[in-house]
Amino acid sequence: MTANTKGTNRTVNRVLIVSDSHGLTEELTIIKDRHQLQYNIHCGDSELSTSAPQLADYHTVRGNCDWKGEFPNERLIDIGGLRFYITHGHLYGVKSTLMKLQYRAQEVEADVICFGHSHIAYAEEIDQKLYLNPGSIRLPKQSVKPSYIIMEWDESNEVHVHFFHINGKKITNFPYAQKFNLK
């Protein structure tokens, strides 16, 4: 969703990013309805079919546990001047290194790389590319907080990443930067 900020003509782009919901359905709908954004991303392992109504408004990719769905392994989406590359991460060995994912991000000229698989919430800028893992809304690791991300920006030199608990409360104690400069 784009929205005008108070008293200005600035357009703020906002994207919801979730991953590894592993069969949760009602929660996907609640999170989407809570924020009502134009762009919703699911980084795989929904364990739902491609026709599941809960995924109707999500750009979804296939995870290693998505046996029911015929989702693509990857997606590219251009939003607000940034190119998003979405994948689950299992095909790139993200549990041990981001190197293969970094090469793929360069190949597709992505600015923002969204992935899951590890269930570990993560945000890092590497070579002016933003790597985001929203964690898991069902089975988080290295945190007891089931999490997802809202990313917002009006200019690519000021991108904000906010982690939220599945209950909708902002998580403020993750050890990651929340503001990034991608250009």
Distance CA 157, CA 163 (A): 19
* 137 pLDDT higher than 90: yes
- Give per-residue pLDDT as tens, 101-121: 999 999 999 999 999 999 999
Helices (H) and strands (E) in the chain, counts: 2, 13
Domain 12-180 classified CATH 3.60.21.10?
yes
Confidence of residue 7 (pLDDT cuts 50, 70, 90): low
Query: Domain extents for the chain?
Result: 12-180
Distance (Å) of CA 133 to CA 41, 84, 158, 173, 178: 11, 13, 19, 16, 13
The mean pLDDT value for 157-175 works out to 91
Q: What's the pLDDT at 139? A: 93
